[in-house]
Structures are given as C-alpha cells and as structure tokens.
Chain A
Amino acid sequence: MGMTMTQKILAAAAGLPEVKAGQLIEAKLDLVLGNDITSPVAIHEMDKFTTDGIFHKDKIALVMDHFVPNKDIKSAQHCKCVREFACKHEISNFFDVGEMGIEHALLPEKGLTVAGDVIIGADSHTCTYGALGAFSTGVGSTDMAAGMATGKAWFKVPSAIKFNIIGKPSKWVSGKDVILHIIGMIGVDGALYKSMEFTGEGIKNLTMDDRFTIANMAIEAGGKNGIFPVDDLAKKYMDEHSSRTYKVYEADEDAEYDEEYTIDLSALKPTVAFPHLPENTRTVDQAGDVKIDQVVIGSCTNGRLDDLRIAAEVLKGKKVAKGIRCIVIPATQQIYLEAMEEGLLKIFIEAGAIVSTPTCGPCLGGYMGILAEGERCISTTNRNFVGRMGHVESEIYLASPAVAAASAITGRISQPEE
C-alpha cells in the first residue's frame, strides 16, 4: 500500500522505509518554533532536563509576536526571559522588535521553512508551512522543550483526507474563502488527527499567499497538518527566499485516503464564518444585514502582501464608514515596507484605517483592538470563539481581506463588488 505525501516525509525523518497510519514514530526535526507566550513555559521546562543545552542553535526559531511591543509588565517579563535564553544559547533565529513579524508569515519569508522539512511549533498555526510541501504541526510548550533539547519529537502517523482542487476562482474569491468553505463542509473536527492533502490542477490558480492561508487554517478543521504539492510556483518562492536545499515528496498513486472531496474553485463565493465557530459558514450573499463596529485586516492567516493589495484595491478612494474602526496589520516588517513602497499604506490611511506594527494583537484578544460587550468585528483572522477578541458577549465574523475591506466601507458585512 502506498503512502501519502505526509507519510513519506515522516518515514524519511524517522529513518524508516515506510510508515502506516496509526504507527507511533520518533522523527528528526528540521526546525523547532516558539513565540513569546509559549516559549517561556518551554524554557522553564528545559530546566528539568538532566542534560544541558540545545540540539542546534540554527534550528530553533523564537519569534516575539503575540504581545509585542510589550503590552504590559508581565508580557515584558516573558520576552525578557526568552531574550536571555536566546542569548545564552546563541540562538541565531531569535526575532525581536524591529526584525520580528507574525511567526508564520516571517519564517517562510526568511527562508527557514522549505519542502520536505519536519517542523514543530508551539503555536497551533504552525501548520502554515505545508503550503511549501513541509510537514509542520502545532504542539505545546513541553513538546517544544523536548524538541529544543533533543531535536526529535514523537508522532502518531496520520491518515489523510484528500482535497482535489479544480477550476479557477473568480475575482473576489481567495484562499480564505476556500478554507472557510472546506471547514463549513467538514466541521471543526472534520479532519481531527488527520492530514489535509490538497492536490489537483486547480492549485496552479492559487497564489502562494492563498496556499499559506489555506494550510494555516487546517487546524480549524482539527487537522494535524495541511499540505500542498511542490509545483513551480512553490519552487520559485523557495528559490527567492531560501538558500536551503529542499526535498520534494509526492504521494504514491495508491496512497489510501479516509475521504476524498472535490473543490471547484470556480463555484466558490465570498464566504463568512458566523460566531462562534469557524464551521458556521455562509456565503456573503446569504449573510443578511449584519452591522459591525470594527474591522481587522491582518494575522498569520491574512496579513501578507497579497491580502493588503486586495484590501487596498477595495478601499482605494473610499472612506471607512463613520463609527467603524478599521485596523490593518501587515504581518512582517518586509511586508510593511513593501506595502509602503507600493503606496498601500497611504490608501489605508487616507481611507481612515489605521496601520499597526506587526503583531498577533487583536486576533487572540491580546491588545490593539479589544471588543466591548455587544460589539461585532469582521476579521481576516482565524478563530471566532466566545471571547476570543474581547468581551464574552462580543462577536467575530471571519472573512477574506476583500470582504473585510468592503464591510469597512459600508459598516455591515458586504460583498466586495458593492
């Protein structure tokens, strides 16, 4: 019996000729990632090891992105703890204010994640790097600590769901609509413990930024990882961003899948997830009259250059509706710089939006846009759980940058063509 793309990567990393779904393996890691919330817990766990030190100073990435520039004293203490740890162990990929970006936008941009890698990160959206054909998955702080110390992690080999992507999306449909449609179809535990393997001729019609968005939200369907085949576009991205050699794996012809779905991109419409689960999806034309108070355009899901370009195209020459707070957050310093050079930031500011330094900030209710009781936000982020962005009686609607920008102009959930 053949192996899926994920199974092939895991078999190679475990030094085994083949693996089967359900098998427990120990795999070598190419990168271990943590942020300013999860790393302090991992660093504390490191103290319990009887051996001292880390497995490789170039294969650990520590990104200060959730609560920086520090929002309060406790957050500052956390960052200080990580900074001292990075300094002590001479960790080369420590990204602090000035160099940082939201981790899952930053690491591919810095060329630290490439096809064939096995990556764990103490952040659930670590699954993003599957867009480049890597196996990457979110873990907790103890796994991160063990990974930093040993360079290895244990995995249960996942079975997989295959998504056959066909067709070409219409103008205002992007990666966010694709993944929201899929989560709406299979549910927030539809891919529990499994790989989501994307394949098919339609993938060529998805930009790299679309693919990052789709792989990023595999976790919102419960998936262990999301993964794309490595085509010319992915190779071009890696050649432009990384000096590392990558390895391309392909699923066997006779690989077994638990389920198979066909997704016709040409049939998809702009989609929005209603509170309080990402699976509560409706197409925007069925959303009804939903008035909003705030718009967030950013995050590891949708804070990349393509996302900002789309939002700027919608907002150009228009005004954010009176009473609406529109917060734009470029995901990295590089994206910020390019958006500035392209004139996108000027469009946002002239429209009445604000532009923030890169941060996860409002996505998880940290700071930079917390909601009051009864308020509603349309957001390009990834979760709309109860209380995620503020008060337990507030509401989050998840959508693409095009829909979020259009809604900022009208003050209610709107179609981009409006």
Chain B
Amino acid sequence: MKASGTVFKYGDNVDTDVIIPARYLNSSDPKELATHCMEDIDKEFVNQVKAGDLIVADKNFGCGSSREHAPIAIKAAGVSCVIAETFARIFYRNAINIGLPIIECPEAAKGIEAGDEVEVDFDSGIITNKTKGTTFQGQAFPEFMQKIIKAEGLINYINQK
C-alpha cells in the first residue's frame, strides 16, 4: 500500500483544538468536520488540500484533547498519511483505530518542506521526497498494530478475532 501527494507542513505541538475546533464538535459527521479541518492554524488548508495529500509536522502532533474528530477530520479531508517527529499518544491510538495511516520519522519531518511531492510505502516504511530526491526510513509498526491497520480499524480487527 502506498500514499502519494503534496505536503502541508506544520511545526511542533499541533493540538487537536486547531485541527478541529470545539465549536464544531456539535457534529460527528466526517464530511462536515473535514470542512473545518486545520481551520485555526491554516485557513487555506481546506481550500487547497487534494485527495492523497500528506501532512508533515514536527514533534507532539495531535496533543491535547482525545477527540477522535481530529483524525476523522484529517482523513475525511482526503489526507493519505501524517508524518511527524512524534505524535501525542491519544492521537496515535485514534489514528490507528480509525485507519488513518501515520508514521513517526524525525528525519523526514526535518527533510520535507511544504509543497514537496512525497510518496510513502507503508509495507517498508520508506518515505521518498520526490521533489528533493531523498529517502527516509520511517518506524515500522509493531505486528499487533499492523493487524489493526490491515483490518482497517480496531472494530473490524475485533470482529475478525
């Protein structure tokens, strides 16, 4: 499985309040949440994002609230993968549980800029920056988490057990 697209780049500590502000949490509809994704940090994101694009960020991406609406909004906006130096732990769980691919890779977080064309191979964990001609080795998931991802989420995984 591969992801390929243009990168939206952000810094440290992107919190779930800027990913999807609480004023929109009276809805749980993924499509509606997606129309406000990243609104308080990047007003142009929803106008510019195309299906398959990637988010790349520095440390502690998704910190703060446990709202699953955050990875749901990112996924519904069409983002194919989030790469970060580190993820906040609840966001990390939530992304795996809903089937939003994420990869921790400090080198890629440093070596990728906004607008770069990037490809990710989920099986090998290899991240290719096609714009700059560089590659990075992302951290592979433990086998247990790979099973959840292959099942496309926790509920399907439990159903299959």
- In the assembled complex, A200 has its CB within 8 A of some CB on chain B: no
Q: Are A37 and B67 in contact (CB under 8 A)?
A: yes
* CB-based contact A365/B22 at 8 Å: yes
CB of A230, distance to nearest CB on chain B (Å)? 25
Distance in angstroms from A154 CB to nearest chain B CB is 7
Chain B, interface residues (CB within 8 Å), range: 35 or more
Assess the A140–B66 pair: CB atoms within 8 A: yes
- Let me know if A364 and B17 touch, CB within 8 A: yes
Residue pair B156, A48 in contact (C-beta under 8 Å): yes
A41-B28 contact given A49-B158, A142-B155, A222-B88, CB 8 Å threshold: yes
Q: Are B28 and A142 in contact (CB under 8 A)?
A: no
The yes or no answer to A138 lying at the interface (CB within 8 A) is yes
With a cutoff of 8 Å between Cβ atoms, the chain A residues found around residue B59 in the complex are: 189
- Cβ–Cβ contact A364 & B65, under 8 A: yes
Within 8 Å by CB of B21, from A50, A67, A192, A365, lies: A365
Distance of A67 Cα from B66 Cα, bound (Å)? 16
Whether A74 contacts B26 in the complex (CB less than 8 A), given A49-B155, A123-B66, A142-B94, comes out as yes
Across the interface, which residues of B come within 8 angstroms of A114, CB to CB? none
- Docked-complex contact A385 and B18, CB < 8 angstroms: yes
Task: Decide yes or no: A124 and B60 within 8 Å by CB, A364-B17, A386-B17 being known contacts.
Answer: no
Q: Is the CB of A385 within 8 A of B15?
A: yes
| A388 interface contact, C-beta 8 A | yes
Residues of A contacting B13 in the complex (Cβ-Cβ under 8 angstroms): 188-189, 277
Q: Is A145 at the interface (CB under 8 A from chain B)?
A: yes
In the complex, what residue of chain B is closest to A191 when comparing beta carbons?
B89
Provided the pairs A74-B27, A142-B153, A387-B18 are in contact, do residues A24 and B144 lie with their beta carbons within 8 angstroms? Answer: yes
For B15, the chain A residues whose CB sits under 8 A away are 383, 385-386
Contact A122 B159 (CB under 8 A): no
Residues of B within 8 A of A145 (CB): 155
Contact with A along B102-127 (1 / 0, CB 8 A): 00000000000000000000000000
Does B49 sit within 8 A of A, measured CB to CB?
Answer: no
Judge whether B18 and A67 touch: CB under 8 Å: no
Q: State the Cβ distance, A49 to closest chain B Cβ, in Å.
A: 6
Q: With contacts A72-B26, A188-B63, A193-B89 known, is A383 near B155, CB below 8 A?
A: no
Closest residue of chain A to B17 (Cβ to Cβ) is A385
Query: A95-138: which residues lie under 8 A (CB-CB) from chain B?
Result: 121-124, 126, 138
Chain A neighbourhood of B159, CB < 8 A: 48-50
A192–B67 Cα distance when bound, in Å, is: 18
Given the known inter-chain contacts A78-B28, A365-B22, please indicate yes or no for A142 contacting B64, CB distance below 8 A. no
Which residue from B63, B72, B154 sits with its C-beta under 8 Å from A143? B154
For residue A224, CB closer than 8 A to chain B, the reply is: yes
CA–CA, A365 to B16, complex, Å? 13
The number of residues on chain A lying at the interface, defined by a beta carbon within 8 Å of a beta carbon of chain B, is 50
- The reply to whether the CB of A45 lies closer than 8 angstroms to some CB of chain B is yes
Which of chain A's residues 66-86 have a Cβ closer than 8 Å to chain B?
A: 66-67, 71-72, 74-75, 78
| A139 and B90 within 8 A (CB) | yes
Question: Is A149 part of the contact surface with B, judged by Cβ < 8 Å?
Answer: yes
Question: Could you tell me if A224 and B89 are in contact, using CB atoms closer than 8 angstroms?
Answer: yes
Contact of B88 among A142, A192, A387 (CB under 8 A): A192
A150 to B66, CA, bound (A): 20
Contact with A along B136-161 (1 / 0, CB 8 A): 00000010100000000111101100
A37's nearest neighbour on chain B, judged by CB, is B25
B23 touches A365 (CB 8 A): yes
Of A48, A138, A189, A383, most buried by chain B (CB within 10 Å of CB) is A189
Decide yes or no whether A213 CB sits under 8 A from chain B. Answer: no
Most buried by A among B65, B142, B154, B159: B65
User: What 4 A-B pairs are tightest by C-beta distance, nearest first?
Assistant: A140-B94, A74-B26, A140-B68, A142-B97
- Which residues of B approach A to under 8 Å, CB–CB? 13, 15, 17-18, 21-23, 25-28, 40-41, 59-60, 63-69, 71-72, 86, 88-90, 93-94, 97-98, 142, 144, 153-156, 158-159
Given contacts A123-B66, A146-B97, A365-B17, 12 further A-B contacts (CB under 8 A): A41-B69, A48-B155, A124-B64, A140-B90, A142-B155, A143-B97, A364-B65, A365-B21, A383-B15, A385-B17, A387-B21, A392-B40
Binding site for B on A (CB under 8 A): 24, 37-38, 40-41, 44-45, 48-50, 66-67, 71-72, 74-75, 78, 121-124, 126, 138-143, 145-146, 149-150, 154, 188-189, 192-193, 219, 222, 224, 277, 364-366, 383, 385-388, 392
Q: Sample 22 A-B pairs with CB under 8 A, ordered by A number.
A: A37-B69, A38-B66, A38-B68, A66-B25, A124-B90, A126-B66, A138-B90, A139-B93, A140-B98, A141-B68, A141-B94, A142-B155, A143-B93, A143-B94, A150-B158, A192-B60, A224-B89, A364-B17, A366-B22, A366-B23, A385-B17, A388-B22
